[in-house]
Amino acid sequence: MKKSASFVIGMSLLLAVSTLTGCKSLKKNPAGVYGSDGLYGNGANGSLGMGDRFTGGTEHPGMFAPVYFDYDSAQVADSERSKIETVAQHLKQNDSVAVIIEGNCDERGSNEYNLTLGERRAQAVRAYLAGLGIGADRIQTKSYGEEKPVNPGHDEAAWAANRRGEFVLYY
């Protein structure tokens, strides 16, 4: 957390974060499972539990090209796979580097539903990375839903640019 926050209704707050940790044991995902049988391709997630959030490092966005998605889809298109493979290569060569995948949607649909759709997009990229042999404990997801468009327009081109998964390296 880089920024501190102020709170209009008064008190400065120490988030009394009863840090509610998620499940720590990650199910091992054998390399190639997702890549070979297309599990990621049919949109099935759910076997790769998330660990605790990363702490102690810094986010480094914009180092890799985003993965784009079709409308209402959380499937990684064939044409986008090489982008994920490039990131996997970098992670393999840099053991101490982790990655946060940010899932984003276009503005159509409800905000809350788009949060879950953005998360599914990020999880699909995560599963593909894991299938390429990157440890699931090195990959976190963050959905922004429709809250963080790169293109503020309201047309097909803007929507296509906004339906994306972005790679943010963490070290």
49 near other proteins, judged by CB under 8 A: yes
- Residue labelled with tokens 């159509």: 108
Enclosing H/E stretch for 157: helix 156-162
- Would you say 86 or 154 has its CB closer to other proteins? 154
- Residue labelled with tokens 């081109």: 157
Identified binder of other proteins from the candidate list 33, 41, 64, 73, rule CB under 8 A: 73
The tokens describing 64, both together, are 């890799």
To other proteins, the closest distance from the beta carbon of 54 in angstroms equals: 9
22 near other proteins, judged by CB under 8 A: yes
The tokens describing 139, both together, are 């990959």
What is the spatial distance between Cα 136 and Cα 127, in angstroms, rounded to a whole number? 8
41 near other proteins, judged by CB under 8 A: no
- Would you say 5 or 157 has its CB closer to other proteins? 5
11 near other proteins, judged by CB under 8 A: yes
